[in-house]
Amino acid sequence: MKNFISCLSVLVLLLIAGCKKQAPSIQDETAQQANTVKYARGLEIYRYEGYSIVKVTNPWPEAKETFTYVLRRNGVKVPDSLQQYPAVNVPLTSVVVTSTTHIPSLEMLGVENTLSGFPNTDFVSSENTRRRIDEGLVKEVGHNEELNTEILIDLSPDAVVGFSISSNNKTYNNLQKSGINVLYNGDWTEQSPLGKAEWIKFFGALYCLEEKAETLFNTIVKDYNEAALLAKKAATKPTVLSGAIYRDQWYLPQGNSWAALFIKDAHAGYLWADTDGTGSLNLSFEAVLDKAENADYWIGPGQFTGFSEMTDANRHYARFKAFKERKVYTFSSKKGAKGGVLYYELAPNRPDLVLKDLIAILHPELMPEYRLYFFEKLK
């Protein structure tokens, strides 16, 4: 569902899809507002009197399809030119979402009580939503690619908000044939920290809470930019290593990835910043040791939460300077009641907190009183 850390790109792939159409010809000047999205590359929102047009232009990496939805208030008639596109009555009163990254948007907008179903509920970390799951108010609707169509049809939500890793979406097509609105969300394909967070506007449009979503996002932008400016005042620029070994390969973020951009904005030197790509590198242990043996910090060592745990898995981890000096920080230790990692769920929505954590770790003199939110030093 779903980076610093190569694991994120694995866990983030839960699923769901739908509503394939060509994008409409939208005359921006006729809308009440032009496209309101500024940072996200895969989302466009145009607001009109009584309805909105939402375009998801990058639902999965290298997607050729563009998905267009008409979100109309009850009783509003949309122009004939838009009749070819899926129409959804808003605000939603019930919804099924499929990624933990969707849940913070619902909670920030105050509409989490409309959530009626979710796949793999054990991944959910939020105490609020976990409570609703435990009370039976949020139903388990399957696991990953095996969504339970019968349960979803029985729930009959106003919409299923999902994501897909490719154009192969038989489950979602079947849901659409059953009369359920299926809407793509492409937040996970965004690479810029603020681009991911801006997808709260997608949910704002679904609930007719556009102004609230805009206000929440603008606060995140302000806090993020202020933190980035603070980081530039640092007198040093420490070097950073990331990732860990998985099946004999060391996975770590590529230079243009979400994780790498955080390190850059925290005024630190990610040692693979010059590599192209937005996914993960897979390297040999020897290649990583040769380049990062003397790295100042190790941020995000995979799933590890303790130093002895790391050396039990591979005694050669102890050869790195950051390990020797106990400058290894993980987000994997902060979990929900069922083991879901908080970072995977909330970090894409709150990049300002991620950046503040990193600045406090890498430049503690700049934020001496700050308490880490996602990260912890390994035990």
Helix axes 258-265, 210-231, angle to 10 degrees: 50
Fold for the domain defined by 230-377: Rossmann fold (3.40.50)
Burial of 219 (0-12, 13-18, 19+ CB in 10 A): exposed
Per domain, the residue ranges of the chain are 6-222, 230-377
Planar angle of CA 130, 135, 140, nearest 5 degrees: 70
Place of tokens 């097509």: 173
Q: What is the pLDDT of residue 32?
A: 60
The length of the chain in residues reads 379
The whole-model pTM stands at 0.90
Identify the three-state secondary structure at position 259: helix
- Whether 6-222 and 230-377 share one fold: the answer is yes
In sequence order, what DSSP letters do the residues of 272-308 get, joined into one string? TTTS--SSEEEE-HHHHHHHHTT-SEEE--TT--SHH
Q: What is the pLDDT of residue 25?
A: 46
Q: What is the pLDDT of residue 283?
A: 97
CA–CA gap between residue 123 and residue 342 (Å, rounded): 9
Phi-psi region of 142 (alpha: psi -120 to 50; beta: other; left: phi over 0): left
Helix axes 351-362, 210-231, angle to 10 degrees: 10
Q: What are phi and psi of 188, to 5 degrees?
A: -70, -15
Instruction: Spell 75-94 as b/e; 16+ CB within 10 A means b.
Output: eeebeeebeebbbbbbebee
- Residue 365 amino acid letter: E
Q: How many CB atoms lie within 10 A of CB 18?
A: 25
Query: Do the Cβ atoms of 106 and 115 come closer than 8 Å?
Result: yes
**Region 6-222: CATH code:** 3.40.50.1980
Beta strands (DSSP E) in the chain are 43-48, 51-56, 67-73, 87-90, 95-97, 115-118, 139-140, 142-143, 146-147, 159-162, 182-184, 239-242, 244-246, 249-253, 269-270, 280-283, 297-299, 328-330, 376-377
CA–CA gap between residue 127 and residue 301 (Å, rounded): 26
Q: What is the pLDDT of residue 164?
A: 86
Q: What is the pLDDT of residue 144?
A: 65
CA–CA gap between residue 336 and residue 135 (Å, rounded): 16
Weakly modelled stretches of the chain, pLDDT under 70: 1-33, 144
Place of tokens 């990583």: 288
CA–CA gap between residue 340 and residue 348 (Å, rounded): 15
